[in-house]
Structures are given as structure tokens and as C-alpha cells.
Amino acid sequence: MLSAILAILGSSTVGSLIGGIFAFLNKKADIEIRRLDQAHELELRKEDRELAKIEAEGKLQVAVAESEGEIESSRMTAIGQAHVADNLGAEEIKSAGGWAWLLILTDAFRRLIRPVLTLLLVSMALYLNWLLVERLGTGWDALSTEQKYDAAMQAFAWITGQASAVLGYWFVSRGQSK
């Protein structure tokens, strides 16, 4: 019986069967290694995409900041050129001949229009605000002096805020004339 068992174990069928089992296990291990490599490769690609996305966002922010700076620089250059073009020079006055007085008067009017309009607007706003406080206040006479003072200070704060917006626009945002 032992010889029969050894004969069967030594046969090519058993050897082929054992070789087939080990080949199957080897192939299974190769497939598992390939699957792990592919999963690792996918993770690396995800990281690459995320890094590329962050890099693209950074480049976009830099491009936006540079373009905004370029726009602001161009705007300031245009304002400067407009002021240079608005300056009245001696050559222009000489070339105007008999009409030089009109040219000088027009230049003076152009330079005074913003301050005069600002003063007029601020004065009218203060006057209207005072009228509102004085005439439209319900029970104004019943208020104490401190309450009247507080209401007047609130109104003054409101109107000076409005005036500062006007002054800021006319004299700062639009540039200054020389």
C-alpha cells in the first residue's frame, strides 16, 4: 500500500496538480499586487489633480491681482494725462489772442466749480437737516435741552457723513486739479 501511495504521489498527475495549484496561487498574488499598484497609482493621480487645482487657483488669483493693478495703473495714468491736458499754458493764452480773457475765465470757472458746488451742497444739506430737526420733530417743544442736543448731534453726524462722501468723491476719487 505504501508503494501504491508513493507511486501515486510520484506520478506526473499529482506533480501537475501541485504545479497547477502553486501556479494558481502565484497568479492570484500577481493579480493582488497589480490591484494594489493600480489603487496606489489612482491615489497618486488624485493628489496630482488636487495639487494642479490648487496651483491653478493660485495662478488665477495672481492673474486677477496683476490685472487689477494694471487697470488701476492705467486709470491713474489717464487721470494724470487728463490733468496735464487741462492745464492752461502761456502758449495757449498767447495763441488765443484777443480771446485770452475768455480762456482764463473758463479755466478759473472749471477750477472753482467743484469747491463751489461742494460748499453749496453741504450748506443746503445742513439747512434742510436743521429744518427737519426744528420743524418736523414731533413734540420738539416737549423735549429737554439734552434730548434736543442729542437729536441735533445725530442729525449733524448724519449730514457730515453725507458731506464726507461727497467731498471724498469730488476731491479724492476723481483726482485733484492743479
pLDDT digits (tens, 9 = 90+) for 28-57: 999 999 999 999 999 999 999 999 999 999
User: What is the rounded average pLDDT for all residues in the chain?
Assistant: 81
The pLDDT of residue 80:
78
Return the C-alpha cell found at 163: 458731506
Q: Residues 151-166: what's their mean pLDDT? A: 79
> Are 151 and 133 spatial neighbours (Cβ–Cβ below 8 Å)?
yes
Question: Is 116 a residue whose pLDDT tops 90?
Answer: no
Question: Is 176 a residue whose pLDDT tops 50?
Answer: no
The pLDDT of residue 5:
72
Q: Residues 142-158: what's their mean pLDDT? A: 82
Of the chain, the percentage scoring pLDDT greater than 70 comes to 87
Q: Which residue has the higher pLDDT, 171 or 116?
A: 116
Residue 75 banded pLDDT, cuts 50, 70, 90: confident
> Are 167 and 118 spatial neighbours (Cβ–Cβ below 8 Å)?
yes
The pLDDT of residue 20:
84
The pLDDT of residue 119:
83
Residue 138 banded pLDDT, cuts 50, 70, 90: low
The CA distance from 152 to 90, in Å, is 51
Q: Which of 14-23, 28-37, 104-113 has the largest mean confidence?
A: 28-37
Residue 111 banded pLDDT, cuts 50, 70, 90: confident
